[in-house]
Amino acid sequence: MNQGKYVFSQLVEFASPTSFRTCVNRYNGNYKVKELPCWKQFLCMAFGQLTHRESLRDTILCLSANTDKLYHLGIGSLVSLSALAKANEKRDWRIYADFANILIRQAKSLYGEDHGELELSNPVFAIDATTVDLCLSAFTWAKFRSTKAAIKIHAQLNVKTAIPEFIHITTGKVHELNVLDLISFQPDSFYVFDRGYTDFKRLFHIHKSGAFFVIRARDRLSFKRIKSDSTARSRQILCDQTICFTNFYPHSFYPHHLRRIKFFDAESRKTLVFLTNNFELKPTEIATLYRHRWKIELFFKWIKQHLKVKSFWGTSSNAVKTQIWIAISAYLLVAIAKKKLCLKNSLYEILQVISISIFDRAVITDLFDRPKQIPDREVSPNQLTIFE
């Protein structure tokens, strides 16, 4: 089916141009645009992400060296550096945010039956944020500290599939807790947080939504023990208690009972305390849920290392958000290709192979087939050797 098509074109085929056109029309993205429509801008930026370009100039230089291939990539004629920079500065970033959310839903449907390492049938999500430091003199809008600028990428990651199902970009001053107000919590789902998200009013909102949460408890928590499950005690489970808060504000914000589990991690030799509103799972299962929270840390580390979300190709808020959302779209395209093509390689391996094979005409699946072992030719005794 993909005979003769470039690898880049095969990958982009997993993105629907019709859905993209709907996003463009929603914000009049192509209004009075003649030279560089939004789809062409998306392809150029996605090309730069997938091939690890360092700047817009680097991206345009690479494309100009392959002008005879641009038509087959879907880009057509060569794009000027100024036109692409202007499009990133002026064109509404919400076009690419909406399109990335379409790809999220597409990936979610593909990975829906994948339970990963967890045997739990309920959906499990990890919520966290990562900070990207910026230069204050160049990014004056990204307020963080008096001498520092930054943005925060907030994400809700499906732990089982490693697909981000919610992403929000703010300046560095916005606290992570504020983003919880934007998330719709699904009943019977588990949400795992670090202790920086301790806000009992918002946690009680999750409880009222019919969802469950697992959060690491802060130190000096004032509570009263209602009862303990002595049968759950072991070398790892130091206690499994039902508690209620004794201080006025925590008790008024969260008037119901909570479950407090004290867990000893033999690997790190640390004692961790968890709070949850789920009283059905075993305490070891609660600890396992929290242990899988590290997957969102890996997700942030992955996109920072392998996509361009730390050094930006424009200084305006619109250009930064456009670049981040297109980077996330590139990540999702790789994830969708992995599932649809039944590739067993990791996302890192797929991205690396695609980055160096972007102009190949081979079918993507052929790039990951194991090469056949070619037997060494027998050396003729009459052949002279270099080193003797």
**Domains with residue ranges and CATH for the chain:** 7-96+312-367 (no CATH), 117-299 (3.90.350.10)
Residue 15 tokens, joined: 């993105």
Contact yes or no for 162/124 (Cβ under 8 A)? no
Mean pLDDT of the 380-386 span: 51
Predicted confidence at residue 385, as pLDDT, reads 46
Cβ neighbours, 10 Å, residue 217: 19
More confident residue, 112 or 324: 324
Q: Do the Cβ atoms of 367 and 6 come closer than 8 Å?
A: no
Would you say how long the chain is, in residues?
388
> pLDDT at position 381, please?
55
> What percent of the chain has pLDDT above 90?
67
pLDDT tens digits for range 218-230: 888 899 999 998 8
